Chain A
């Protein structure tokens, strides 16, 4: 079975400062890992996906994530936060058969002016 733990339910940063959203995963095989973003009352938008081609994955809107197998982590980073980054972020792992996705509980990112 697979699982995802997002280590922070809420993160607050100032505009222009770096963002770090932490995610640990557990899987008995080599899964795909994703980060999605959800703005209030909106659907989920795919930020990036890891599929073992490269450990550092670049996504949209300046986000990137690094896969560290030894630490079973897939943390999301951005060098400089923008007000529009304020949203809920979900770390996700693909399930057995790769049809089901397992979602973390989410991290709410707040960006202060």
Chain B
């Protein structure tokens, strides 16, 4: 079966510091991968999605970036965090390529607090 991991689970960072959040998927190959942010009391906002290694689409302009160095690894980064980057970050996957479906499965999330 497929599983999705995210780490760290929680993170407290000062303003202006860098960020690296990691997401990995097991049990599937060539998945579509997604990064969402959930701000307090709000719905989910899609930040990035990827259909393959090195292929990243950005949905919202911001100081965050994403990379996909391996088929089942998705990384969310920032060079300098802002207070507004605080939130709950969720990674998700869906079957990709010729097996594409629109059903997305979510990881456990990372709680980021920027002070």
Contact = CB atoms under 8 A, between A and B. Distances in A.
Contact of A32 (B6, B32, B46, B102): B102
B106 interface: yes
B81 interface: no
Say whether chain B's binding surface is mostly helix, strand, loop, or mixed. Answer: strand
A44 B106 contact: yes
A101 B109 CA distance: 17
Given A100-B46, A101-B46, A106-B43, A43 B103 contact: no
Task: Name the 5 nearest CB pairs between A and B, nearest first.
Answer: A98-B102, A43-B106, A44-B106, A94-B102, A103-B43
Interface in B39-69: 42-44, 46, 49, 51, 59
Contacts of A90: 43-44
Interface residues of B, number: 23
Nearest to B45: A103
A106 B111 CA distance: 19
13 contacts: A36-B106, A41-B88, A41-B109, A42-B108, A45-B106, A46-B103, A46-B105, A94-B102, A98-B100, A100-B59, A101-B46, A101-B102, A106-B43
Given A32-B102, A99-B49, A43 B43 contact: no
Contacts of A78: none
Contact of B103 (A45, A49, A103): A49
Interface in A37-53: 41-46, 49
A101 B106 contact: no
A27 interface: no
